[in-house]
Amino acid sequence: MEEITEGVNNISIVDLHKKNRIQVSNTKKPLFFYVNLAKRYMQQHNEVELSALGMAIATVVTIAEILKNNGLAVEKKIATSTVDMKDESRGRPIQKAKIEILLGKTQNFDELMAAAAEEREAANAEE
């Protein structure tokens, strides 16, 4: 349970209403960390918003596709935009691509999650 609260201290007041947003980095965590976190957020909030900048966009798209292909999520909304950022090395502003993908639970999400939990318990019992 520790992973969910990681980084909560640096959330701004504006983001507090976005308890179901995952800001994906392409360097910090492995892909399936985000996939599993997204599943947990969908269990808690019925939907999850995946957000990324620049090179991490490919990771967000991959996470969304994994969840959709496994029958866990449906696409509700995709938004793309650009964000002005300061390039520290050159000292001038640069634009970065941004994507936000809103995913919702499928009708059989809870059944699939329960089945996966049963499989894990059965595998652990065999050890």
Residue 7 pLDDT greater than 50, yes or no: no
Mean pLDDT score, 60-75? 96
Q: What is the pLDDT of residues 80-99, one digit of tens each?
A: 999 988 877 877 888 999 99
pLDDT tens track for 12-53: 444 445 788 999 987 778 999 999 999 999 999 999 999 999
Q: Is 91 left (phi over 0), alpha (psi -120 to 50) or beta?
A: left
